[in-house]
Amino acid sequence: MELLSLIRKKRAGGELSAAELEEFTAAVVDGSAPDYQLSALLMAICYEGLSYAETLALTRAFVASGEQLSWPEAQGPVVDKHSTGGVGDKVSLLLVPWLAAVGLVVPKMSGRGLGHTGGTIDKLASVPGFRVALSQGEIRAILADVGCVVVAQSAGLVPADKRLYALRDVTDTVDQLGLIAASVLSKKTAAGAEHIVLDVKCGSGAFFKDLARAREFAELALSLGRDLGRGVACVISNMHQPLGSAVGNALEVEEVLALLAGERDQPDLTELCQILGALLLTAAGRTVSMDEGQAMMEQALAGGAVRERFERWIAAQGGDLAAFRERHRDGYRRIDVRAVNGGYLRGMDAQRIGELARGLGAGRLTAADGIDAEVGILCRCKVGDAIEAEQSLAELVARAIDPRSDRDLAEEYVAALSFGAEPPEVKPVVLDVLLP
Ligand code: URA
């Protein structure tokens, strides 16, 4: 295929036809398109954009580029959730078993963390024995037994996105609405869910820094969902500060375990999950209103059904929670970050906090990097909190061999915070909801 002519056309502001986008996708998958030409086309798309027709055609071509799953044997409505990526975003860890506990079926494919945002697969992999790669037979058996399963994206599902996403990551061409929408919606469509909810993160730690851009993305996703025959709803959620308090793989699993055991409350995390769940329950016809959906979600959590489902799910995928609870963090330093002065915590730069966690070893700079499941950050204060001098702001878990001093690391954390004498306006965790 003459990829050069597509680059030329897009560079000049032209619109690519569905046939051209199909050819382009085929050349991505069969390997005939070299990385340098793909990168040039991606950059041209970033400058010139994609029309709605192009975005839809690209999404369809992505879906058709690999296997497409269906779940005819499912014993309930098949649903899925996707996050555009955040800091401390452990929603899937809690929401997936929660959805199963209220009768929905969740066959979920998740990604690994990249950049300053974490990934569900890395978090789950911190539980000893947890298997993130399962055969189709195993996935179906666990779904029938537990109602939910989370596996790493299989190589056969939207292979075009797999190659292009890796290229986008290293050419700084991730941040384009049409490319993000095609990437997300194609994966969710190919994975076969009837009802999909997107958690569109908005704020300093997200792709979408402001509400207008997050809404633009959400509206695009809703339109694509309609044209692809899937019910897509979007929640725009607050990423102006980390979600919950833990940032880091094992730390986030610990936070969810503590929440399920009733030992620690994380109101922002719980509220977001309840709303995402209520949207799916209502879309699937299990409840007639959001209020009823939220009440059903609340009941499942309070009655212990979510905890029970979480434990069954982790065990079904080989995870050993007893071993997880008993492990020791030998070889790590715990650094208590304390406030110098009193005042109000007015802001947290979630991206900076995510980058600090990544620098400690919780995330990767390139897809080939390894991670350290144990390191990370426990944010002890959230935006709006009144702080006293000497109060603990956070605890950092760093490798003993980290060359930086405790003081330098603590200073990096404090640099991500802003303080003032007046209390700030505290934004809610859910900023907007867009229905199909
Ligand atoms: N998440 C995805 O799956 N794809 C993107 O392009 C961005 C976020």
| Residue 188 near residue 158, CB atoms below 8 Å | no
Query: What is the whole-number distance in angstroms between the Cα of residue 413 and the centre of ligand 1?
Result: 27
The pLDDT, as a whole number, for residue 376 is: 98
Segment 81-101 shows an average pLDDT of 96
Range list of H helices, 152-195: 159-171, 177-190
Is the pLDDT assigned to residue 235 strictly greater than 70? yes
Segment 295-317 shows an average pLDDT of 98
Question: Looking at per-residue confidence, does 398 or 328 come out higher?
Answer: 398
Atom of ligand 1 nearest to the CA of 165: 6
Is the pLDDT assigned to residue 112 strictly greater than 90? no
Q: Which residue has the tokens 């058996």?
A: 141
Q: Backbone phi, then psi, for 199, in 5-degree steps?
A: -95, 100
Q: Which residue's CA is the nearest one to ligand 1's atom 8?
A: 84
By DSSP bridging, strand 332-338 and strand 392-399 are: antiparallel
Model confidence band, residue 153 (pLDDT cutoffs 50, 70, 90): confident
Query: What is the whole-number distance in angstroms between the Cα of residue 12 and the centre of ligand 1?
Result: 26
- Through-space distance between the first and last CA atoms of the chain, rounded to whole angstroms: 37
The pLDDT, as a whole number, for residue 106 is: 98
Range list of H helices, 49-176: 52-64, 91-101, 120-124, 136-146, 159-171
Is the pLDDT assigned to residue 76 strictly greater than 70? yes
Tell me which residues are annotated as active site.
82, 161, 168, 183, 187
For the chain, how are helix, strand and coil distributed in percent, rounded to 5?
Answer: 45, 15, 35
Q: What's the number of CA atoms in the CB half-sphere (13 Å) around residue 230?
A: 33
The set of protein residues with a Cβ atom below 6 angstroms from ligand 1 is: 84-85, 165, 174, 179-180, 183-184
Is the pLDDT assigned to residue 113 strictly greater than 80? no
Is the pLDDT assigned to residue 279 strictly greater than 90? yes
Q: What's the number of CA atoms in the CB half-sphere (13 Å) around residue 20?
A: 17
Segment 357-369 shows an average pLDDT of 86
Cα separation, 89 vs 119, in Å, equals 8
Other CB atoms within a 10 A radius of the CB of residue 414 amount to: 16
Query: What is the whole-number distance in angstroms between the Cα of residue 183 and the centre of ligand 1?
Result: 6
Cα separation, 122 vs 112, in Å, equals 6
Atom of ligand 1 nearest to the CA of 168: 6
Is the pLDDT assigned to residue 225 strictly greater than 90? yes
The pLDDT, as a whole number, for residue 117 is: 76
The pLDDT, as a whole number, for residue 125 is: 96
Give the long-range contacts of residues 31-38, CB within 8 A, separation 24 or more.
32/1, 33/1, 33/3, 35/167, 37/3, 37/4, 37/7, 38/3, 38/163, 38/164, 38/167
For residue 255, give the H/E element and its range. Answer: helix 249-260
Is the pLDDT assigned to residue 292 strictly greater than 80? yes
Q: Which among 180, 185, 213, 234 is the best mutation to test ligand 1's pocket, defined by most ligand atoms within 8 Å of the CB?
A: 180
The pLDDT, as a whole number, for residue 154 is: 85
Q: Can you read off the two tokens belonging to residue 37? A: 């030409």
**Residue-wise pLDDT tens digits, 114-133:** 677 778 999 999 999 999 99
For residue 81, give the H/E element and its range. Answer: strand 79-83
**DSSP per position, 213-230:** HHHHHHHHHHHHHHHHT-
Q: Which among 171, 174, 185, 199 is the best mutation to test ligand 1's pocket, defined by most ligand atoms within 8 Å of the CB?
A: 174
Mean pLDDT of the chain: 95
Is the pLDDT assigned to residue 1 strictly greater than 70? no
The pLDDT, as a whole number, for residue 114 is: 65
Atom of ligand 1 nearest to the CA of 187: 3
199 beta partners: 83, 235
**Residue-wise pLDDT tens digits, 161-193:** 989 988 998 888 988 999 999 999 999 999 999
Q: Backbone phi, then psi, for 59, in 5-degree steps?
A: -60, -45
Q: Which residue's CA is the nearest one to ligand 1's atom 2?
A: 184
| Residue 212 near residue 322, CB atoms below 8 Å | no
Cα separation, 10 vs 250, in Å, equals 44
Cα separation, 377 vs 394, in Å, equals 7
**Inter-axis angle of helices 91-101 and 305-316, to 10 degrees?**
110
Length of the chain: 436
Query: What is the whole-number distance in angstroms between the Cα of residue 354 and the centre of ligand 1?
Result: 17
**DSSP per position, 284-351:** TTSSSSHHHHHHHHHHHHHTTHHHHHHHHHHHHTT--HHHHHH---TTEEEEEEE-SS-EEEEEE-HH
Segment 371-381 shows an average pLDDT of 97
- Which of 23-32, 91-100, 164-173 has the lowest average pLDDT? 164-173
For residue 409, give the H/E element and its range. Answer: helix 406-415
Query: What is the whole-number distance in angstroms between the Cα of residue 82 and the centre of ligand 1?
Result: 9
